[in-house]
Structure formats: structure tokens, C-alpha cells
Amino acid sequence: MTTTAPAFGTRLAAAVADRGPLCAGIDPHPRLLESWGLDVTPAGLERFARTAAEALGSTCAVVKPQSAFFERFGSAGVATLERTIADLRAGGAQVLLDVKRGDIGSTSQAYADAYLDPSSPLACDAITASPYLGFGSLRPMVETAERFGAGLFVLALTSNPEAATVQAAQRRGRSVAAEVLDELRVLNAGAEPLGSFGAVVGATIAGVDAAAGESLAINGPLLAPGVGAQGGTAADVQRIFGDEVGHVLPSSSREVLAAGPDPRALADAARRFNDTFRAAWS
């Protein structure tokens, strides 16, 4: 079966036009649960995640649950993740599951089936993926995304200090990051209004690799984690992305989630975040 739904890039562009560019994270970190007065237990996780989903699912264009913070609770946590995804989608948000999967062959296909096939209880609109077993290792995820109108966000220029040892490495005179971005540009060629295959580019990177700079024009979405509590600002995003800033999804988790546990306060925090970036980029 192949979906007849609009492609992820089309749905995303419409959602951002309606709700703003914020990609709000749901990261049930133990310290956040405790700051909400919740126990670090499956019951606390359920209350935290579904309260956040209630507030953000009807407010944000994109919401990004971090799978690891659910998985750490075992089967109960995964069950909560399933319900959280359903809540977010019911609210109209595009759900980007942060799983950073990367493998080969049948295992890569199994990940694709788990997260991108609508028949799966974990099905979402898009996932994060790691290309560092070779971009071709993502082919099962790419093909499954194309089949079902889903999306991928592939790690390209992340801002963790260790990233440069891989991402800035040179091959045939080009950085690994530049080649990842080139592959995404090919996948998105001709897509309108936006391709479904995005890149992850940190909002706190010191600067864009010279070989990759122009390649940020991939005709696809650009996820920019690290905004807000991690130090990234609207000015940083403008500096890094330049003319491509209109395709950027600035991502914040802790700054928005710190407004909880009141759902109205969470929704207001997300709206303020969107207003800040819209004003800075207008």
C-alpha cells in the first residue's frame, strides 16, 4: 500500500505557514519531570509527556519527542510514546521522532517500518537519521518515506564538540557534511513547495564549513537544535543559514518545557518563541 496523503514537505510547509517555525521538543529528562513535581517513574512520564502533547500538539507546526527518554522506562515508556504520538497528531502537529537511527539492509528497513509505515503504532511524520554508515545505508528509510509520504532529517552539521572529527573530514576534497547535504539536495530536486528530506544543522555551530555553506540550499527543511536554553538565538540562526532561514525549524525543548506543568503556560511559551523568530526574520 502506498499513501495518497500529501508529501511530508507539503504538509510541513502548510503547518509552518499556519503555526510558525518552532519545532518544540518533548524531552522527558528526569530533572524536568522533577521540576514539574512528578516522580521519575512511568506514571510521571505519562503525565509529563501527555500534558506537553496536549499543549503543543495544537499550537506548534512540529513537535519532536526524544525517543530515548521514553525507552529508558522499557515497555511502559514505549507505550507512552505511542500514545504521545497519537495525541500530537490528533492536535494537528507534524510529529518528528528523534531517534537518530542508522543501520544497513534489513535492519534499516525494520526501523523504517517501525516509524514511517502508517500501520505501525509508532508511526510518525518524520524521523531523525544518522548517515555515518554511508548515505546509501539510509536507502530503505528514504524509499519507505517516499512510499508513505513521510520525511527524514539527516544529521549533517551538528554542534557537539566531537562532530568535526567525522563531519569535517575530507573525501575527494569535500567534507563529509557537504556530501550529506549534496545527497539531500538530489532527493529534494524538483519538489514543491518543499522537499521531504531535511538536514540537521546545529544552531550553535561556530560557523558553516566552507565546502558545505552553499549546500545548505537543499530545497528541504533544516532542523536547528540548540535554540533557547542551549544558547542559540534568532541572530545565530540568521548568521548560519542566511538566505535559507525561511526553511529553518528552530528547535527548543527545555526553554518551552520549563513553562510547565500548566498546559496554557506551555502553549503561551511556544507562541512567544514563534513570535520572536517571526519578528527577527520578517
For residue 100, indicate whether it is catalytic: yes
C-alpha angle with apex 200: 202 to 247, nearest 5 degrees? Answer: 95
Burial of 102 (0-12, 13-18, 19+ CB in 10 A): buried
Query: Which position among 29, 83, 89, 100 bears the catalytic label?
Result: 100
Q: Which amino acid is at 182?
A: D
Relative orientation angle of helices 263-281 and 234-241, to the nearest 10 degrees:
50
The catalytic residues are 100
